[in-house]
Amino acid sequence: MAVGLGLLAPGPAVADSYCGLVWGSLAKTDPAMSQAKVTNVRTGQHYCFDRLVVDLNGAAAGYTVRYVPQVVQDGSGLPVPLRGQAFLQFTVNAPAYDDSGKPTYNPVDKNELSNVAGYQTFRQVAWAGSFEGYASLGLGVRARLPFRVFTLAGPGAGSRLVIDVAHFW
């Protein structure tokens, strides 16, 4: 009744985060180096986010994911054109070739690693190369949105590096 009479003010309204996500949009890094090799790249859609998965043939270790003005190729530094209003450069601390230099991941179309037509956040996934023990991808998204990065074990002796990018803040 005191609130109704204006004697007590209600507390400030607090907006819930989108889908309860508490991610940010700052760079995420793990400096460890992996002995595993990149074997595949794939994407998926979820209710609150779009997902990019990099498959490895061993234990995942090490990555850098950050928003950049333009994604560049490993080694050459040449730009990787991407659709979208914001760009994530994803560097895996593992190569996409074996110890004899034979590719372990060699995409058919380096500009379209996965068909992301109809995704809420993703606009394009492109290969930026593999050079001196690292593999890089470019991810074009519709805006600078929060993201998270984590690893998953399996299947078998393999592992996965995962990036989820939220649909909204």
How does pLDDT run across 134-162, given as a tens digit for each residue? 999 999 999 999 999 999 999 999 999 99
Give the pairing of strands 28-30 and 38-45: unpaired
Stretch among 3-17, 69-83, 143-157 having the lowest mean pLDDT: 3-17
Q: Looking at the DSSP assignment, which residues form a beta bridge with residue 46?
A: none
Threshold 0.85, pTM exceeds:
yes
Q: What is the pLDDT of residue 7?
A: 53
CB 162 within 8 A of CB 62: no
> What separation, in Å, do the N-terminal and C-terminal C-alpha atoms of the chain show?
36
Q: What is the CATH number of domain 25-166?
A: 2.60.40.3500
CA dihedral defined by 105, 107, 110, 116, rounded to 10 degrees? -110
Helices (H) and strands (E) in the chain, counts: 0, 9
Assign 19 to helix, strand or coil.
helix
The percent of residues in the chain predicted with pLDDT above 70, rounded, is 90
In 3D space, the residue among 54, 33, 58 whose CA is nearest the CA of residue 125 turns out to be 54
Domain ranges of the chain: 25-166
